[in-house]
Amino acid sequence: MIIVHHLENSRSQRVLWMLEELGLPYDIKRYERNKKTMLAPPELKRVHPLGKSPVIEDRTDQNRVVAETGAIVEYLVDKADGRLGAPANRTAALDYRFWLHYAEGSIMPPLLVKLVLTRVPLFGKAAQKRIQPMIDTHLDFVEAHLASRPWFTGDTLTAADIMMSFPLEAARSRGGLDASRPATIAWLDKVHARPAYQTALAKGGPYAYA
């Protein structure tokens, strides 16, 4: 059994979705954010020293603890014998690796900066104007890619799509993603319509980005 240490309104929703897509058995331990700071509670540090979510414990593998969403996703692909992993075609496989890491390495940082700036009075509003063009560059890049394919690596859903879901949901919530980028919006709608996504959403509790 896999235990998902799941924080409300967080990246860990992707892990629940992936487990549902793979059909792997799991249980959820839910955590609520501090209402004032919006940070994760200190209890998460008992699971992993960083005190962040997502974290999983695999009770079928010596109670192994795995942190970081990308590392968890790759771990689950291996556990599922490659399902939702890199396609056999080399070009598609390279696309898969790129988008798998791009999600947290490139597009998410400016979105996180913008979120922080929304909580800074006066200076924050001016600084947001400098961050938005960076976000727009990423959104245009994603839109151009999705305009010619249904999923990030081609014709089928992979873990790269799962990784990209949170930053694009965050972008629709606070980063300027709207109907002016129809391919990206269509991709998000397709993600949200998947039965596995809906089941994960129902199990996960509060999630502001769906």
Label the pairing between strands 2-7 and 64-67: unpaired
Task: Quote the CA–CA distance of 65 and 29 in Å, as a whole number.
Answer: 14
Q: Summarize pLDDT for 100-115 with one digit per residue, the tens.
A: 999 999 999 999 988 8
86 in Cβ contact with 93 (< 8 Å): yes
Weakly modelled stretches of the chain, pLDDT under 50: none
* Domains assigned to the chain: 2-83+196-204 (3.40.30.10), 90-194 (1.20.1050.10)
CA distance 30 to 200: 13
91/78 Cα distance (integer angstroms): 20
